[in-house]
Amino acid sequence: MSIKGMAYIAGAFEHPTRKAPDKSVAVLHAECAKGALEDAGLNVSDVDGYFCAGDAPGGVLSMVDYLGLNVRHVDGTDTGGSSYIAQVSHAAQAIAAGKCNVALITMAGRPRSEGRSGVKQKMTVANVPDTPFELPFGPTAVNEYAMAAMRHMHEYGTTSEQLAWVKVAASHHAQYNPNAMLRDVVTVEDVLTSTMIADPLHKLDCCVVSDGGGALVVVRPEIAKNLKRPLVRVMGAGEAPKGLSGGKVDLTYSGAIWSGQKAFEEAGVTPQDIKYASIYDSFTITVLMQLEDLGFCKKGEGGKFVADGNLISGVGKLPINTDGGGLNNNHPASRGGIVKVIEAVRQLRGEANPQVQVKNCDIALAHGTGGGLASRHGSATLIMERV
Amino acid sequence: MGTTFQDRTMTVPEIHPEHKEYWDAAAEGKLLIKQCDSCGEYHYYPRVLCPYCMNDKTTWKEAKGTGRIYTYSVMRRGVPYAIAFVTLDEGPRMMTNIVDCDLDKIHINQVVKVVFKQSGDQDNPGPFIPCFTPMSDE
């Protein structure tokens, strides 16, 4: 069974806050749920499927109870920041199988107010098999991604200047987003002279730490067609976890090589057909490696591909993250996947900020990496079309 | 100049029952890895069941303790330290720290050997942890 055409994204909402010291995480989830349902033109009583991941306090049981939902299908899949991209696919599968008609996906968090960041060492979680052999060495989000960048530079000659172009493009887009956390346009030089955090990644190679969240409403085709919003149809999706392979570690590629291929096959399109792409940008290297692995350029040529403004809307060949992405706009709960889908929906509806709206945007892709990059992580790819 | 290695407090690992031999050997300065009795593959971190064929008979082997740096990153926030993956001569790559050297001279493919550092601190001493140090600047 394919999910192609079996579901539509009818509602999408990104919480405008980037700092929420006066709200609990549960409140942010609820506000996102309300926002996405209002966007779709649906009521909470219409929701019969609910999806959330590890950011949701108390998981599906607490959240269903808290939000006052009456659902017959729940899914708590957690693959880190890519969870919500995978959950759009799971929602489409559930709808296609008759398990629900209106699926609500919520995510929210407040790492900024709670003082969490990617430079802090990870904490012990009981019984996780890998942590005794990793935590003593001080792995953090940034130095794990930095090790992938270092190896990529060694094997392919990728440079810090090329990585910096990913940030430059994000900043060009963010200047037009009134809600973006960082709106100043930066140069390659600005990135290279910013503080070194973990070689070779500078401060400006890293995403923001922001509070906030988002929600999506995925519905059966007959329901979408009776709503007043532009129609965004799910075309194809793929998921792929990748790990450290018992010691056969290869940090030069991500699970996108598998999740992307499956999504393109199901959608029946190629990377050349994609007019806009949301590419997870926890760090600049994340974007570069995923673009290679998704097939937008050859392996090892990501550095050349991202340079010279090629990712800037209206300038380059592949506009990405036109909201400013995780690097400039928003990385709520340190899990950016849902914002990736939301901006792709805006582009397909023609509702992106006018200065970055891609013309004739009929096919878009959203891709996420949750967990590490190329190490232990979950890749998820989603392809959507405007009908 | 350079960035001199400084000792830092390493997180005390949670000891799982199947790893007692591993941590006992580490206290004696020996690095153990696992080899599958069926497919013959070495793997790391050590499992009871082989991650390549799920055979439930795997055997502890003492690694030579030498290898090359596959990749690394020097963390520049707080006490600087170098996290790395090292390719052991036996084949598996393992996460580690590069220690007892100028952190600015670390490079990919550098030949390194295992040295053990105790985790935790005086009040809460933990197991010895396999780190690596360069055998030369080359």
Residues A288-333: pLDDT tens digits? 999 999 999 999 999 999 999 999 999 999 999 999 999 999 999 9
Which among A130, A144, A246 has CB closest to B52? A246
Q: What is the CATH number of the domain that holds A106?
A: 3.40.47.10
Total number of domains constituting chain A: 1
Structural contact between residues A137 and B83, judged by C-beta atoms closer than 8 angstroms: yes
Give me the pLDDT at residue A118, please: 77
CA B83 to chain A, closest CA, distance in angstroms equals: 6
Q: Would the CB atoms of A131 and B8 count as touching at under 8 Å?
A: no
Give me the pLDDT at residue A159, please: 98
pLDDT at B117 over 90: yes
Position A380 in a domain: yes
pLDDT at B138 over 80: no
Which among B14, B70, B74 has CB closest to A198? B74
Alpha carbon A161 to its chain centroid, in Å, reads: 24
**CATH class of the domain comprising B17-134:** mainly beta
Chain pair A-B, CB pairs under 8 angstroms = 121
Give the domain range for residue A28.
8-114+207-386
User: Distances in Å between the alpha carbon of A284 and those of A201, A259, A260, A332, B76?
Assistant: 8, 20, 19, 17, 18
Q: What is the ipTM of this complex?
A: 0.98
Which among B14, B76, B88 has CB closest to A196? B76
Q: Is B34 on the interface with A (CB under 8 A)?
A: no
pLDDT at B22 over 70: yes
Average per-residue pLDDT for chain B = 96
Reported as a pLDDT band with limits 50, 70 and 90, residue B1 is low
Position A120 in a domain: no
CA dihedral A277, A283, A289, A295 (to 10 degrees): 0
Structural contact between residues B2 and B105, judged by C-beta atoms closer than 8 angstroms: yes
Position A110 in a domain: yes
Q: Is B19 on the interface with A (CB under 8 A)?
A: yes
For chain B, the structural domain boundaries read 17-134
Position A103 in a domain: yes
The ranges of chain A with pLDDT < 70 are none
Position A188 in a domain: no
Pick from A43, A16, A85: nearest CA to A366:
A85
Position A132 in a domain: no
Residue of chain A minimizing CA distance to B129: A136
Model confidence, pTM: 0.97
Residues A325-340: pLDDT tens digits? 999 999 999 999 999 9
